[in-house]
């Protein structure tokens, strides 16, 4: 087994879920996968199914429309799972908190292990 293939055996596999963000954080996640930063060389692989993921990356506040889908995706991630709230919207819900269509930040719905706070678009 080669070095790269061997490093991916125990590396984190990521599943990204947008629960209502403006796509600023989504662009930052995709930028980390491009050749300039290339997190895949460290073994972080973006997978297409939550059943294969170790880490659930969540961007945006949880909207009412995404709530049942978010819970379904969270339940599909196998144990042990790590939830990462990326961006200010996912971490605190602002500036959309209080809107009738926003259920709140991610930690009101599921337990969050890591918070990556900040807004790449400059809204907050």
Contact indicator for 12, 53 with CB cutoff of 8 Å: no
Give the CATH architecture of domain 3-116: 3-Layer(aba) Sandwich (3.40)
Name the burial class of residue 80, with classes exposed (0-12), middle (13-18) and buried (19+) by CB atoms within 10 angstroms of its CB: exposed
pTM score of the predicted model: 0.85
Report how far apart, in Å, the C-alpha atoms of 46 and of each of 13, 29, 57, 68 are: 6, 10, 10, 23
The per-residue pLDDT for range 52-64, each reduced to its tens digit, is 999 999 998 999 9
Residues of the chain scoring pLDDT < 50: none
Q: Which of 94, 9, 12, 111 is nearest to 58 (CA)?
A: 111
CA distance 31 to 3: 24
Going from N- to C-terminal start, the domains of the chain cover: 3-116
pLDDT of residue 100: 87
């Amino acid at each position: 087994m080669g070095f790269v293939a061997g490093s991916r055996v125990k590396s984190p596999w990521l599943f990204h879920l947008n629960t209502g963000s403006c796509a600023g954080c989504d662009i930052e996640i995709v930028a980390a996968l491009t050749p300039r930063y290339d997190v895949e060389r460290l073994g972080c692989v973006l997978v297409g199914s939550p059943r294969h993921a170790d880490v659930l990356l969540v961007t945006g506040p949880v909207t009412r429309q995404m709530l049942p889908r978010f819970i379904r995706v969270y339940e599909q991630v196998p144990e042990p799972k790590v939830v990462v709230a990326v961006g200010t919207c996912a971490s605190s819900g602002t500036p959309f908190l209080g809107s009738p269509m926003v259920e709140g930040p991610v930690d009101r719905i599921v337990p969050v292990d890591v918070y990556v706070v900040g807004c790449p678009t400059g809204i907050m």
